[in-house]
Structure 1
């Protein structure tokens, strides 16, 4: 009888671990829907500052749309010189609760750093900040499209 209990316990643990690994490896197959501009807007979505410089190499600023995520809005602004992303920042990020603030304190700099490193929206999501990452990447891609980068 005791051996049967031990076997059942081991099988239960293995099954639980398998289901947990499978659940954690799933990624949502949808992107958040873009929201209307905020009531106190940063630069309007899709706005671009006038280019500066001479010839074909100009510096401009483009702003992606505000993307509403489960935990709050995300909006990305890029500074582009020619076809190079020289700066990226999150104008809006989820901050409705202490946990979101804590998560985004590390997630946003990581996303910005990867954006500058890859010079594209081909950035991996930050573990533990999936919704923020998805919103950031959606707004980033839109900004890149506007900048024709």
Structure 2
């Protein structure tokens, strides 16, 4: 076998090995399963707050439960505490916990997301690198809670 032919065979074999390795890094799931289970029917807004002051566009305060957001790794749900129209606390009601890696990522990402949300007084925050699905679920749930609060 000549040198150019050997090189071509070596390059083809190496390329194939790299492609197989890359494809094995992310688990494949059928499209119907990748979207996760169908969302649960929307629950009526959970609210334990005082009513808005007459003529006020914001409630005086309270705790508002966000939507339970299904993600690829588990459901995320938060409750937002609002005082005088500002986000003052976030309580995590559900976080991905299906396996050790999901629990580890949630344990790292959720406090950072909470810290950012409280600093921004909103759900307009950056996702945590390495916890994209958890971050998106957190942000969506928080935004739904803030929407319920009228913030």
After superposing on structure 2, the runs of 4+ consecutive aligned residues of structure 1 that deviate more than 6 Å are: 31-34, 52-55
Alignment of 1:42-61 (within 5 A): 46-51=45-50, 58-61=60-63
Residue aligning to 2:113? 111
Gaps in structure 1 of 5+ consecutive residues? 21-30, 38-43
By how many angstroms is 1:46 displaced?
A: 2.4
By how many angstroms is 1:34 displaced?
A: 7.5
Residues 80 and 87, structure 1, Cα contact 8 Å, conserved in 2 = yes
1:109–1:50 CA distance, 2 compared to 1 (3 A): same
Residues 61 and 85, structure 2, Cα contact 8 Å, conserved in 1 = no
Residues 121 and 137, structure 1, Cα contact 8 Å, conserved in 2 = yes
Residue aligning to 2:40? 36
- Larger-Rg structure: 2
Helix, strand or coil at the partner of 1:107? helix
CA RMSD of aligned residues (A): 3.1
1:78–1:45 CA distance, 2 compared to 1 (3 A): farther
Cα shift readout 1:38-95 (whole Å, capped 9, x = no counterpart): xxxxxx6621103189776622110111000000000010000011111002110000
Residue aligning to 1:73? 75
The alignment of Structure 1 onto Structure 2 pairs a total of residues equal to 123
TM-score scaled to structure 1, two decimals?
A: 0.69
Alignment of 1:1-149 (within 5 A): 35-36=39-40, 46-51=45-50, 58-149=60-151
Residues 34 and 65, structure 1, Cα contact 8 Å, conserved in 2 = no
By how many angstroms is 1:120 displaced?
A: 1.0
Residues 32 and 67, structure 1, Cα contact 8 Å, conserved in 2 = no
